Amino acid sequence: MRILITGGAGYIGSFILRALEDKYELLVLDSLEEGHIWAVGGHKLVVGDIGDEKILNDIYENFKPDVIIHCAAYIIAPESCKEPFKYYENNFYKSLKMLKFFLERNLKYFIFSSTAAVYGNPKYLPIDESHPIEPLNPYGWSKFFFERAIMDLKNVYDFEYIILRYFNTAGASLDGKLGQYKKEPTHLISRIIRTILGFYDRLEIYGNDYPTKDGTAIRDYIHILDLAQLHKIALEYLLENKKSEIINLGYGRGYSVLEVVELANKILKPFKYEFTKRREGDPAILIADNKKMKLLFNFVPKYDDMELILKTSYNWEIYRIENNLK
């Protein structure tokens, strides 16, 4: 079984790669704009753009994937408000071009890394897969447009898909040797760790006037190791049942920004923080209804622990700095 992982040199893709490496023949396609060669390890890597038909043709001729796990995307919601074309071009247009290319060559299975950002501000909590689709930013819309395209293509081509809507992915490997790196991080936990290590003199918390218990935004954080394992289970489910699904990936509980900040202050090292204005395109609360995930995948999380998320992230950042991984 040959699997192509687009964006496999990125944070999430590199963990999926390791979750699958014992059982499948794997190939990574990554432009390395956001990904890193060190994240691929010893796996086969094609450096290129998902919209480059020559590269896609080379992959087809030399690898002929049975399954594509599509992780390649721009993911920063506030940036998408400032650069919507960038997000629609890559996350929708190029993704559609890539999928069409392989469907025309008889691709049978497709797994798409989507996002809870498609839901927008929740009408109810927790958010299930039937929740109305009302993204607050071009990032969320670009992901949903591609979701819609996948569903429509299913009416024309003989393939099955699973769309996985991630909530907030966080954490690093237990040995501290693999994790997330971005030169200017936007994710809360990465920014906390960088602040602790002196990259910033204080952490900015974007908004303390949300309609939440402490005024800061609430998110459902899922450890990257559980998320990667869920991709393996999703793949096995797809191969066995040949049934398309849309599934939330989250733990079903939320932490406010302030709760995460105060816990990091307690279990790692003290650091300064201050409140600033909200970022454009950020919803107040996102918490997954994960009943479908648990039912279909018979999944029990192993790493549902915010302390573990923070500690593995911290250990990874120390390791990354010591080994000059950029």
Q: How would you classify the pairing of strands 221-223 and 67-70?
A: unpaired
Clarify whether residues 181 and 53 are in a common domain: no
Task: Examine the domain organization and report whether 198 and 309 are in the same domain.
Answer: yes
pLDDT at residue 82, as a whole number? 96
Same-domain pairing of 92 and 52: yes
Taking only the tens place, the pLDDT of each residue in 316-326 is 999 999 999 99
115 Cα distance to chain centroid: 7
214 in the same domain as 231: no
CATH number at residue 301: 3.90.25.10
Q: Can you list the residues of the chain whose pLDDT is less than 70?
A: none
Q: What is the pLDDT of residues 31-44, one digit of tens each?
A: 999 999 999 999 99
Whether 231 and 221 have beta carbons less than 8 Å apart is answered as: no
Judgement on whether residues 186 and 101 belong to the same structural domain of the protein: no
**Catalytic status, residue 139:** yes
Q: What are residue 162's DSSP bridge partners?
A: 111, 245
**What pLDDT shows up at residue 85?**
98
Q: Which of 249, 266, 299 is the last residue of a domain?
A: 249
Of 11, 139, 181, 210, the active-site residue reads 139
- Show which of 197, 229, 249 is a domain's final residue: 249
We report the CATH number of the domain holding residue 40 as 3.40.50.720
Instruction: Say whether the peptide bond before residue 126 is cis (omega within 30 degrees of 0).
Output: yes
CA 67-101-134 angle, to 5 degrees, is 80
Distance CA 94, CA 157 (A): 19
182 shares a domain with 160: no
Same structural domain, 203 and 294: yes
Q: Read off the tokens for 161.
A: 């898909």
Beta strand pairing status for 285-286 and 218-219? Answer: parallel
94 Cβ contact list (under 8 Å, min separation 6) = 49, 50, 51
Q: Which residues, in sequence order, are CB contacts of 54 under 8 Å at separation 6+?
A: none
Residues 113 and 236 in one domain: yes
Do 50 and 119 fall into the same domain?
Answer: yes
The encoded tokens of residue 323 equal: 């080994």
Domain total of the chain: 2
Domain that holds residue 60: 2-169+221-249
* Same domain? 20 vs 101: yes
Does residue 95 sit in the same domain as residue 244? Answer: yes
Q: Are residues 235 and 305 in the same domain?
A: no
Would you say the pTM of this structure is higher than 0.75?
yes
Q: Which amino acid is at 301?
A: P
